[in-house]
Structures are given as C-alpha cells and as structure tokens.
Amino acid sequence: MKSHSEHFIIISPIGGIEVSLLPAIAQGIKRIFGFPTQISSLLSDISFAYDSSRNQYNSTQILNQLSTFLPINACKILAITDVDLFIPILTYVYGEAQLGGISAILSVYRLNESMPLINSDAIISERLCKEAIHEIGHTFNLKHCKDPNCIMHYCRCIGDVDCKTDQLCRYCQIFLTDELEKFNKR
C-alpha cells in the first residue's frame, strides 16, 4: 500500500505561463487534495492538437498525449497553457480533464477575460486556482455540482468563475474523501 505522501501531482506549464502564478496553484492543490506538487514541463510542442479551421487547440488530444508521460511516483498531471482550447462540441473550454484519469489541462486564455483594472494579478491567480482544483477534481472522479458556490460547479462564463468559492461543497467533499481513501488503498 502506497501512502499519500509518496505521490505527487505534476504541474506542467506549456508555453509562456508566468511562473509567479504557479505557487498559488500548488498551494490550492495541497489544500484540497493533500498532495505535494512538482513543476515539470512534460510536453512543450502541442502543434499536433492545433486545428487551423478554428485557430484553437483540441484539449482532448493534448490530454491523451500528456498521460503517456506520467513519471513514476506521480499520480496526476495538470498542464497549464496560454493557448485557446476547445472540445468539438463547445466553442471553447477553460480546461478539460479525464474523468477518473490521469491528466487535466487548463488555459489562462479565456480566464483573462473581463479583467478589472485593479487587483488583476490577484484575480487571475484566484481564477486559475479555482479552475485548477476543478479540473483535478474531475481526475478524482468528481462530477459537476449544481451548487453555484462549489468549486465543482460548471462555469459558462467568467462571472460564474468569480462567483464560486475556492471550496468544495459538503457533498463533493464527502465524495472526494471517499475517492482519496480508495486511491490510497491501491
């Protein structure tokens, strides 16, 4: 039986992500999931996922590729990029994750929308943290939650992201505790 502490979650920046944004994300991951993180660029060239007709990147293709790079002792990978991501049925996505799987991805591209002039650094950091936890939540089998305050709430616009808290609701917290127990028994 492996203990929780033997695993870490990889934060994998792709392209021009400001490194100053990463410590807050690492902290958020530790707070919600209890795992330490390691920053490591596992994938730099994502041109294979580029769709020229949409001028966007197919996030599902990036996730599939990322999962093949999982290092020993790592349990999940969170990629962070600055390109515009899509899945075929939607115009764009803030991020995507493999439900109950290994990889998640998140983009700052749309999270930069409707930025206030003051406190913009703090706001972008908050948005990124929320969506990072949301996407990793999916890799631990958490699904979308109806509670608009819950971090697992699906956000249709940037206002929804700003409205929700950086916490799991009671129901999702119980579900995650269960999932983490199962994970640690593997």
Binding region for Zn ion (CB under 5 A):
145, 147, 150, 152, 169, 172
135 tagged catalytic: yes
CB of 106 to Zn ion, least distance (A): 11
Residue 120 one-letter amino acid: S
Report the alpha-carbon distance of residue 126 to residue 133 in Å, rounded: 11
CB of 145 to Zn ion, least distance (A): 3
Q: Buried b / exposed e across 117-143, counting CB within 10 Å, b at 16+? A: eeeeeebbbbbbbbbbbbbbbbbbebe
Question: Which run of H or E residues covers position 22?
Answer: helix 22-33
Report the alpha-carbon distance of residue 36 to residue 64 in Å, rounded: 23
User: From the candidates 96, 113, 131, 135, which is the catalytic residue?
Assistant: 135
Output 42 or 105, the one with its CB closest to Zn ion. Answer: 105
Output 7 or 134, the one with its CB closest to Zn ion. Answer: 134
Report the alpha-carbon distance of residue 55 to residue 134 in Å, rounded: 25
CB of 51 to Zn ion, least distance (A): 21
Output 75 or 155, the one with its CB closest to Zn ion. Answer: 155
Catalytic residue numbers? 135
